[in-house]
A = this chain, B = another copy of it.
Amino acid sequence: MGADFLQLNVDDAPAGGRADWLAGRLRDAIADGRLPLGSRLPATRVLAAELQVSRGVVTEAYQRLTEDGHVAGRGRNGTIIVAVPVLTPSGGVGGVGGVGADGGLVGAAGAGGGGGLVESAGLFAEAPGADVFDELRAAPARIDLTPGLPDLAAFPRAAWLRAERAVLSDLSPAAFGYSDPRGTPALREAVARWLARSRGIRADPADVIIVNGVAQALGLLAQVLRHEGFGEVAVEEPGSLGTRQHLQNWGLGTPPIPVDQGGILVDALAASGAPAVLLTPAHEFPTGVVLDGERRRELMRWAADGGGLIIEDDYDAEHRYDRPPVPALRSMLAERVCYAASVSKLLAPALRVGWMLPPPQYAEALVAAKRSADLGNSVLPQLVLARLMETGELERQLRFLRGRHRRRRDTMIAAIGAHLPQATVHGAAAGVHLTITFEAGFAGGNAGATGLADTDLAAAAIARGLKVQPLSWHCQRPYPPGLVLGYAANTPTDITDGITLLASLVRDLT
């Protein structure tokens, strides 16, 4: 008659209304946090047996919750709590810090990412195990610790609107027509000044090409390089899965070059024979390593003397906490460095605005490729962004984000120290994510060891409403198991809850 689960006692139920009663009890438990988001309801068979009611009663109660939108059937994964009844007519209190009215499905449709293009991780059908990626990406999550997002709640809506009003009142009618495929002169000038003061790059505005994010920059460059006979672009190992898949999608091979504590191994790069390399020198994705001075000099020799092409994905260089700024490679050798960056980690990925500074020899072909792609970026967001840059709003936003992100990073590191002491933290001095690896004892990943793989840990986490990225996604070769964890887009409560949950899963699974 009674169940351990929620201490339910069917004797409390009115005659003929057992399904209603059970649905009500479950709703209460979701509302007050006893059944947290992401947790799983017992199988209908099991709960019916415990309560000694017919299975139809339990099925019907679950069905009511499904119709309410509080739970979702997930096939073999069972029935999972997907929304707290915060705003339902039945009232109730979420009790879950920071979960919004939309059920906390932050970024469910397309979030994730990091490392310039890791936003697209798992989106490419060609990838081995793409199905697993897709499942993980599409699954609802109460807490999303995948990397690649800044604090989206901090988007400066009022400043954006003010700037847009100013832009619309100043604009000449001709500006609404077709324009330069390289972008509007105002933004190209603002970007050139931004790069000079924040990244040490001297650029002529005429050389700046405005693009729809780093994704488009790399796609355009890939088209041009293929046309020039390039068959491959070397990538960092470990290195962003999304970027690698993106290059492969555009027909380029991606030989992996190992990264150690000093950054990419230039000797190995030279030995690979690759004509070009894609780098994240300011904060390597996912390890967070900074390319050191000696490696920079080696790399410059490889490019200047050996004719190699460097593609610099400067994806989160502005976000640094405990270290001095690192100048961009572009500032050292403009002739052989194709620089790309975006506002995805400064403002919002949804803006789809980025810029590239190509080496002179590829500039004309890249402008032609941009024109063939879409005739140029949308003009209004360009002009608004230019204004935010020129009025100092963007710098204010960056300072604000830096403080907030640093506190969230500190929260995550503290939580890892307290709950996951067996994990080693990497690359936390900058950026919007950090990486942890597990010591021996928690084996797995794609290292071929016998223990649990990090992909299994990520899958177990998603079943509990927590989304994280396995480090092995970003490795083409065996590497210790680990996770890549974004902190910038999450509240301290979610960060602590997420790490605590992760710790319990690690205990369960090892």
Residues of A whose CB lies within 8 Å of any CB of B are 100, 102, 105-113, 119-120, 123-125, 148-149, 152-153, 155, 157, 160-161, 164-165, 168-169, 171-181, 211-213, 215-216, 219, 246, 249-250, 347-353, 368, 371-381, 489
User: What separation, in Å, do the CA atoms of A249 and B350 have in the docked complex?
Assistant: 29
A373 partner, pick from B107, B179, B373, beta carbons under 8 A: B373
- Chain B residues within 8 Å of A378, by CB: 212, 350-353, 377-378, 381
Verify A176–B155 contact, CB threshold 8 A. Answer: yes
- Chain B residues within 8 Å of A489, by CB: 177
Nearest CB on B from A178, distance (A): 4
A374 partner, pick from B157, B165, B352, B371, beta carbons under 8 A: B352
User: What separation, in Å, do the CA atoms of A152 and B171 have in the docked complex?
Assistant: 11
Give how many copies assemble into the complex. Answer: 2
- Chain B residues within 8 Å of A105, by CB: 174
- Chain B residues within 8 Å of A111, by CB: 174, 177-178
A176 partner, pick from B119, B124, B171, B350, beta carbons under 8 A: B350
Q: With contacts A164-B164, A177-B152, A368-B125 known, is A215 near B349, CB below 8 A?
A: no
Verify A249–B372 contact, CB threshold 8 A. Answer: yes
Verify B381–A219 contact, CB threshold 8 A. Answer: no
User: What separation, in Å, do the CA atoms of A352 and B371 have in the docked complex?
Assistant: 12
User: What separation, in Å, do the CA atoms of A350 and B153 have in the docked complex?
Assistant: 28
User: What separation, in Å, do the CA atoms of A169 and B176 have in the docked complex?
Assistant: 25
A367 to chain B: closest residue by CB: B123
25 A/B residue pairs, CB under 8 Å, sorted by A? A102-B172, A107-B174, A109-B180, A120-B375, A123-B368, A155-B176, A157-B169, A157-B171, A161-B161, A161-B164, A176-B348, A176-B349, A177-B348, A211-B374, A212-B378, A219-B374, A249-B372, A250-B372, A350-B378, A350-B379, A350-B380, A351-B378, A351-B380, A352-B374, A377-B378
Would you list the 7 A-B pairs with minimal beta carbon distance, nearest first? Answer: A176-B348, A212-B374, A350-B379, A152-B173, A153-B173, A216-B374, A152-B176
User: What separation, in Å, do the CA atoms of A371 and B212 have in the docked complex?
Assistant: 11
Nearest CB on B from A342, distance (A): 11
Q: With contacts A152-B174, A161-B164, A181-B110 known, is A119 near B351, CB below 8 A?
A: no
User: What separation, in Å, do the CA atoms of A371 and B173 have in the docked complex?
Assistant: 32
Verify B149–A112 contact, CB threshold 8 A. Answer: no
User: What separation, in Å, do the CA atoms of A174 and B155 have in the docked complex?
Assistant: 11
Verify A219–B352 contact, CB threshold 8 A. Answer: no
Verify B350–A177 contact, CB threshold 8 A. Answer: yes
User: What separation, in Å, do the CA atoms of A176 and B107 have in the docked complex?
Assistant: 9
Verify B374–A351 contact, CB threshold 8 A. Answer: no
Nearest CB on B from A432, distance (A): 12
Nearest CB on B from A255, distance (A): 21
Q: With contacts A153-B173, A164-B164, A173-B155 known, is A179 near B109, CB below 8 A?
A: yes
User: What separation, in Å, do the CA atoms of A109 and B183 have in the docked complex?
Assistant: 11
Verify A157–B161 contact, CB threshold 8 A. Answer: no
A113 to chain B: closest residue by CB: B178
Q: With contacts A249-B372, A380-B350 known, is A165 near B161, CB below 8 A?
A: yes
Q: Indicate the member of A172, A179, A379, A380 with the most B CB atoms within 10 Å.
A: A380
Q: Indicate the member of A102, A176, A378 with the most B CB atoms within 10 Å.
A: A176
Nearest CB on B from A101, distance (A): 8
Verify B381–A380 contact, CB threshold 8 A. Answer: yes
Nearest CB on B from A453, distance (A): 26
Q: With contacts A165-B161, A168-B161, A374-B215 known, is A173 near B110, CB below 8 A?
A: no
A250 to chain B: closest residue by CB: B372
- Chain B residues within 8 Å of A377, by CB: 212, 352, 378
Verify A110–B376 contact, CB threshold 8 A. Answer: yes
A153 to chain B: closest residue by CB: B173
Nearest CB on B from A490, distance (A): 11
Verify B375–A213 contact, CB threshold 8 A. Answer: yes
A185 to chain B: closest residue by CB: B109
A375 partner, pick from B169, B352, B373, beta carbons under 8 A: B352
- Chain B residues within 8 Å of A113, by CB: 178
Verify B110–A180 contact, CB threshold 8 A. Answer: yes
- Chain B residues within 8 Å of A372, by CB: 215, 219, 246, 249-250
- Chain B residues within 8 Å of A149, by CB: 177-178
Nearest CB on B from A28, distance (A): 27
Q: With contacts A250-B372, A372-B219, A372-B246 known, is A119 near B381, CB below 8 A?
A: no
Verify B102–A174 contact, CB threshold 8 A. Answer: yes
A110 partner, pick from B110, B124, B375, beta carbons under 8 A: B375
Nearest CB on B from A269, distance (A): 26
* 19 other A-B residue contacts (CB within 8 Å) besides A111-B177, A157-B168, A177-B348: A106-B173, A110-B178, A110-B179, A110-B181, A120-B178, A120-B375, A123-B368, A124-B368, A149-B177, A152-B174, A160-B168, A175-B350, A176-B347, A176-B351, A211-B374, A212-B373, A215-B374, A352-B375, A374-B374
